[in-house]
Structure 1
Amino acid sequence: MNTAVFCVLLCIGASAVSAASLSSQKGCPPWKPLAECLVAPCQVSRCSNMLGAVCHNDYCGGCHARWFVGQFEVTNRCTTNAAPSITI
């Protein structure tokens, strides 16, 4: 039984460390913690009026789809008819 308890504590600790390291890998600032989303934001977002725009999922502080043409962000120029994504 002690082994099972140890394994549960170890697994929970490893999960917390994994989430923390993922947050730092994503470069999220402390005031915008890494979000867990039910769906990838780019799966429910479109930017049809910006030809060649490429979507990047942004999980810092929520579930956001950010659109780029080359290195330039064009998210504000996109018209969005997407359903809102749900953060868990």
Structure 2
Amino acid sequence: MGQAHTPTPGAPPRYFAYLLRCWEERGREGGEIRWRFSLEDPHTGQRWGFEGMEAMVRFLRRRLAEEEGGRNEDGGSPIQGPPR
């Protein structure tokens, strides 16, 4: 396991900013409605797509754990272009 992050004296607090998009997708002929989500890092333009809210929350938890010194693989799928 990794060590906990120790802030550098005088350093500004760390933060993450993401643009959240959510939209519904419907199955054929009035089928099941499924919500999709994407997060975009406004600093880098990198985007991740998720098939549900639970997957997005797992991704965010992993990102924060990674910053605390743990190792993980990012969840979500990198995506290109706007959601359709």
Tell whether the structures are fold-level matches, with TM greater than 0.5. no
Q: TM-score, normalised by structure 2?
A: 0.27
TM-score by length of 1: 0.26
Q: Which has the higher strand share?
A: 2
Q: Which has the higher helix share?
A: 1
